[in-house]
């Protein structure tokens, strides 16, 4: 028997890349590859790159510089190390990578991971291989389903891709170019994946996609199903106790999604709903296709459906033409909404996007200063949200042992990590925890005393409402 070949994947960027990395591992397993944590003993290193913001390609080239040293070292010991660049930088700059970095054997765009074995074979026979076309065959259908062992190793919570790509064309964003047009997987395939995951001990599913609530997959009844309909179907799968989805666009929040939040206890009351800016002028220049008032109406609809719902968001500061007044409008929106957390970024021009040609750039000093002001506001909201949990009893899904001996760590409905001293038996269960204190972003608490199922339920409903009230 040939010894297994070792595969090291380094992923940058979004959840979709984390998921894609797992699927690359699954696709290469039948070729005899097993994962290794170390670059130095790898036979194949894959850089799974992200192109969304600043300096993405420079990072890739400097990483490739380090890998050249590792590859030379392996060759000195008579071992061949192959290097592949995957992800959105591969998609956007594949030809240039081939030209500039002779160390690279394979360049593969996100649409073609199911072709990895053939590309590696082609690189072996022809020297190098590049595939960044959007192939006509169906990537979702060809990617190997994860094996039970692999699923068990991944634990209690798992991502499932339901759609990929985006048709929104926000003027700052590369996603429509690197990930292509929006494509949704059929409901039956997603249900199969979730059934298999549930069978292997997964308890929480996060449906992912670049614009996940644009989901419009073919249903088993031959009709097109929305994300809300899909969530209703998945909530009925035994073993699945929590559902989440990410990332959403405010324009694509339809009534079925609101209803899902009203009706499904498994659907977590925590929604990532990026708004990017609180100024109508900037939203128009970004081609977001909604106003600030539209966004606030969407938030209100969610809140009416489920009182304990909380939100996170993404913001960009320093978009071309953003004035102090526009920026102050963003701060005002954050204050009005009150987020449980949010990500904020300095605008970075992406080659090939319409905003990259806009002339009225904001100075680096203004961008820095605005980022600090926005992050201070968001941080204060996040700490207030976390502090409000202290003293409450909240539901935690336990996932794994913590670094501190004897502790088990899980997450609340709002993705806050929560630690308790307990036996490993509680992994995979949702249990009420009384929160005693907060250490940075982690909650520390004790399992609430066992009570009968009915009173646990009413107790939990009550406690989750208390969080919102705070």
Query: By rule CB under 6 A, what string of x and - marks binding of each residue 33-52 to ligand 5AD?
Result: -------------------x
DSSP 87-109: HHHHHHHHHHHHHH-TT--EEE-
Q: Measured from the CB atom, is 2 or 359 closer to ligand 5AD?
A: 359
Check binding of 298 to ligand SF4 (CB under 6 A): no
Region binding ligand SF4 by CB under 6 A among candidate stretches 163-171, 344-352, 365-373, 378-386: 163-171
For the residues of 273-312, what is the DSSP string, one character each?
Answer: ---B-S-HHHHHHTT-S--HHHHHHHHHHHHHH-TT-EEE
Is 347 near ligand 5AD (CB under 6 A)?
yes
CA-CA distances (angstroms) from residue 254 to 84, 232, 293? 40, 14, 16
Parallel/antiparallel/unpaired status of strands 341-346 and 393-401: unpaired
Binding mask 240-259 for ligand SF4 (x = CB under 6 A): ---------x----------
Q: Which of 348, 429, 442, 468 binds ligand 5AD (CB under 6 A)?
A: 348
In the chain, what's the furthest Cα-to-Cα distance?
68
Task: In angstroms, give the least distance from the CB of 287 to ligand SF4.
Answer: 8
Residue 274 Cβ, how far from ligand 5AD at the closest point, in Å?
A: 4
**How do strand 430-439 and strand 393-401 relate by DSSP bridges?**
antiparallel
Give the residue from 165, 152, 161 showing the smallest Cα distance to 186. Answer: 161
Candidate residues 11, 211, 226, 276; the one interacting with ligand 5AD per rule CB under 6 A: 276
Residue 81: CB minimum distance to ligand SF4, A = 34
Q: How far lies 171's CA from each of 52, 167, 259, 322, 353, in Å?
A: 12, 12, 31, 14, 6
Output the six-digit token pair for 197. Answer: 């995951």
Taking Cα atoms as reference points, which of 149, 139, 122, 141 lies closest to residue 188? Answer: 141
In the complex with ligand 5AD, the residue whose CB is nearer, 19 or 468, is 19
Tell me the closest approach of the beta carbon of residue 77 to ligand SF4, in angstroms.
44
DSSP 210-224: TTGGG--EEPTTSSE
Our finding on whether 214 is near ligand 5AD (CB under 6 A) is: no
- Rounded-to-integer distance, Cα 197 and Cα 182, Å: 25
Alpha-carbon gap, residue 406 to 100, rounded angstroms: 50
Q: Using an 8 Å Cβ cutoff, are 6 and 150 in contact?
A: no
Of positions 109, 146, 228, 274, contacts ligand 5AD by CB under 6 A: 274
Q: Is 178 in the site for ligand SF4 (CB under 6 A)?
A: no
Q: Count of residues binding ligand SF4 (CB under 6 A)? A: 10
Contact by Cβ (8 Å): 424, 413: no
210 binds, among ligand 5AD, ligand SF4, none (CB under 5 to 8 A by kind): ligand SF4
CB closer to ligand SF4, 8 vs 185:
185
> Collapsing DSSP states into helix, strand and coil, what is residue 470?
coil
Q: Does 17 bind ligand SF4 (CB under 6 A)?
A: no
Stretch that binds ligand 5AD, among 261-269, 295-303, 341-349, 424-432 (CB under 6 A): 341-349
Q: Which of 102, 148, 169, 458 binds ligand SF4 (CB under 6 A)?
A: 169
- Report the site for ligand 5AD in 128-187 (rule: CB under 6 A): 172-173
227 binds ligand SF4 (CB under 6 A): no
Q: Is 176 in the site for ligand SF4 (CB under 6 A)?
A: yes
Strand 270-272 vs strand 242-246: parallel, antiparallel, or unpaired?
unpaired
Q: Does 435 bind ligand SF4 (CB under 6 A)?
A: no
Considering only 36, 48, 178, 211, the residue that binds ligand SF4 (CB under 6 A) is: 211
> Which residues neighbour 328 within 8 Å (Cβ) at sequence distance 6 or greater?
none
Name the minimum Å distance from CB 128 to ligand SF4. 31
Work out what residue 362 binds among ligand SF4, ligand 5AD, none; the CB cut-off runs from 5 to 8 Å by kind: none
Neighbours of 363 (CB within 10 A): 9
Helix (H) / strand (E) containing 394: strand 393-401
> What phi, psi does 30 have (nearest 5°)?
-65, -15
DSSP state of 113: G
Among 311, 345, 385, 414, binds ligand 5AD (CB under 6 A): 345
Which positions lie near ligand 5AD, rule CB under 6 A? 52-53, 172-173, 274, 276, 314, 316, 345, 347-348, 350
Which positions lie near ligand SF4, rule CB under 6 A? 166, 168-170, 173, 175-176, 210-211, 249
């Amino acid at each position: 028997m040939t010894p297994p070949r070792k595969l090291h994947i380094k992923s940058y960027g979004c959840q979709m890349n984390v998921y894609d990395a797992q699927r690359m591992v699954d696709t290469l397993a039948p070729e005899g590859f097993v994962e290794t944590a170390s670059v130095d003993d790898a036979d194949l290193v894959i850089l799974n790159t992200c192109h969304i913001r600043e300096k993405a390609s420079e990072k890739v080239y400097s990483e490739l510089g380090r890998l050249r040293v590792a590859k030379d070292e392996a060759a000195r010991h008579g071992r061949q190390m192959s290097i592949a660049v995957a992800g959105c930088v591969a998609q956007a700059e594949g030809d240039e990578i081939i030209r500039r970095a002779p160390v690279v054997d394979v360049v593969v765009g996100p649409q073609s991971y199911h072709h990895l074995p053939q590309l590696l074979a082609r690189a072996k026979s022809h020297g190098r291989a590049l595939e960044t076309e959007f192939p006509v065959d169906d990537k979702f259908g060809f990617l190997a389903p994860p094996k039970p062992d692999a699923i068990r190793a991944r634990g209690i919570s798992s991502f499932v891709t339901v759609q990929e790509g985006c048709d929104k064309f926000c003027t700052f964003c590369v996603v429509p170019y690197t990930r292509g047009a929006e494509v949704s997987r059929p409901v039956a395939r997603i249900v199969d994946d979730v059934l298999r995951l549930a069978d292997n001990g997964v308890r929480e599913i996060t449906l992912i996609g670049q614009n996940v609530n644009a989901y419009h997959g073919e249903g088993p009844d031959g009709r097109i199903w929305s994300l809300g309909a899909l969530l209703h179907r998945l909530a009925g799968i035994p073993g699945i106790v929590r559902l989440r989805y990410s990332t959403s666009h405010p324009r694509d929040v339809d009534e079925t999604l609101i209803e899902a939040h009203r009706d499904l206890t498994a659907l977590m009351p925590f929604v990532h709903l990026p708004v990017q800016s609180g100024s109508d002028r900037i939203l128009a220049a970004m081609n977001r296709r909604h106003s600030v008032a539209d966004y606030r109406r969407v938030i209100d609809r969610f809140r009416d459906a489920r009182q304990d719902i909380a939100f996170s968001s993404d913001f960009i500061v320093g978009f071309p033409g953003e004035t102090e007044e526009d920026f102050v409008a963003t701060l005002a929106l954050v204050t009005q909404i009150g987020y449980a957390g949010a990500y904020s970024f300095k605008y970075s021009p992406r080659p090939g996007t319409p905003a990259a040609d806009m002339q009225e750039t904001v100075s680096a000093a203004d961008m820095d200063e605005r980022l600090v002001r926005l992050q201070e506001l968001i941080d204060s909201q996040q700490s207030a949200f976390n502090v409000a949990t202290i003293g409450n009893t909240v539901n935690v899904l336990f996932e794994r042992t913590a670094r501190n001996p004897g502790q088990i760590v899980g997450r609340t409905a709002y993705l806050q990590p929560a630690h308790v001293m307990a036996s490993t038996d509680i992994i995979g269960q949702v249990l009420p925890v009384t929160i005693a204190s907060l250490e940075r972003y982690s909650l520390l608490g004790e399992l609430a005393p066992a009570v009968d199922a009915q009173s646990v339920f009413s107790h939990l409903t009550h406690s989750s409402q208390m969080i919102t009230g705070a």
